Amino acid sequence: MIALPRYTELVKNLTIKEFKLRYRNSFLGFVWSLLNPLAMMAILTLVFSTLLRAGIENFPVFLLPALLVWRFFSIGTSMALWSIIGNASLVTKVYFPRWLLVLSSNLANLVGSTLEFLALLPLLLALGMKVSWLVMLLPVVLAIEFVLIVGASLSLGALNVYYRDVNQVWDIALQAGFFLCPIIYSASLIPSRYAFLYSLNPITRIIESVRRIFYHGALPTAWDLLIPLLSGLILLAIGYAVFLKLEPRFAEEI
């Protein structure tokens, strides 16, 4: 990964390519990336605030930032899962470090998620989010989450070349993750005997961080940032090792 500066232009072009392909042939293009979380917000607010009366004050502002960081992770990893196979024509025809494909897919998703946040910020303001300088911390939280995403994506992208059902397994894992992370409920509801285990989930900590920033107007705790950062670095090390081990036979297995 040390050689990255040599490949900046290639990574840039691959990222632009990924981003373009994501919205090519679609009539509304990027607008879908805003409509999707907005529709989810409307449905979940209807179910939890109106029908179930879960009693969470200002549910849309409670939900939306959590939903956006969840989308960042889930879309990022499930797109990167296909980053090697989806580029079979390149992988079987010309040599370059293959992990650049994973990174570019993740970067395209980073651009997408950043735009989602920027575009929906005015809505959050209108809905009554807590306005403070703490919003400046959002890039830090997203950067930490990005490390997690790249780490997971390296393993997923490489393994999916050899075992195509990694995709199915990850699909289930993400569905489980949506309910195991405090997206539609508050982490304070977790019984105390599970609380420690629950709080080790790095995505839980990321969600808690953005919820503190946008909903409570409070500073994320040190652990809220350290746990995801450490898990991210561990995942990155594992992912890179797995990737290097599997990379030599990509062109044969693809």
Q: Which residues bind another protein (CB under 8 A)?
A: 9-10, 12-14, 17, 20-21, 24-25, 87, 89-96, 162-166, 169, 248-249, 251-252
CA angle 175, 178, 179 (to 5 degrees): 100
Least separation, in Å, of the C-beta of 174 and another protein? 17
- Taking the least distance from each CB to another protein, the nearer of 87 and 153 is 87
Can you give the three-state secondary structure of the chain, one letter per residue? CCCHHHHHHHHHHHHHHHHHHHHCCCCCCCHHHHHHHHHHHHHHHHHHHHHCCCCCCCHHHHHHHHHHHHHHHHHHHHHHCCCCHHHHHHHCCCCCCCHHHHHHHHHHHHHHHHHHHHHHHHHHHHHCCCCCHHHHHHHHHHHHHHHHHHHHHHHHHHHHHHCCCHHHHHHHHHHHHHHHCCCCCCHHHCCHHHHHHHHCCHHHHHHHHHHHHHHHCCCCCHHHHHHHHHHHHHHHHHHHHHHHHHHHHHHHHC
- Taking the least distance from each CB to another protein, the nearer of 36 and 167 is 167
- Taking the least distance from each CB to another protein, the nearer of 24 and 193 is 24
Least separation, in Å, of the C-beta of 241 and another protein? 17
- Taking the least distance from each CB to another protein, the nearer of 143 and 253 is 253
Least separation, in Å, of the C-beta of 10 and another protein? 4
Least separation, in Å, of the C-beta of 4 and another protein? 14
- Taking the least distance from each CB to another protein, the nearer of 22 and 205 is 22
Least separation, in Å, of the C-beta of 66 and another protein? 31
- Taking the least distance from each CB to another protein, the nearer of 14 and 135 is 14
Distance, CA of 138 to CA of 222 (rounded, Å): 14
Least separation, in Å, of the C-beta of 26 and another protein? 12
Least separation, in Å, of the C-beta of 11 and another protein? 9
CA angle 234, 241, 159 (to 5 degrees): 100
- Taking the least distance from each CB to another protein, the nearer of 164 and 216 is 164
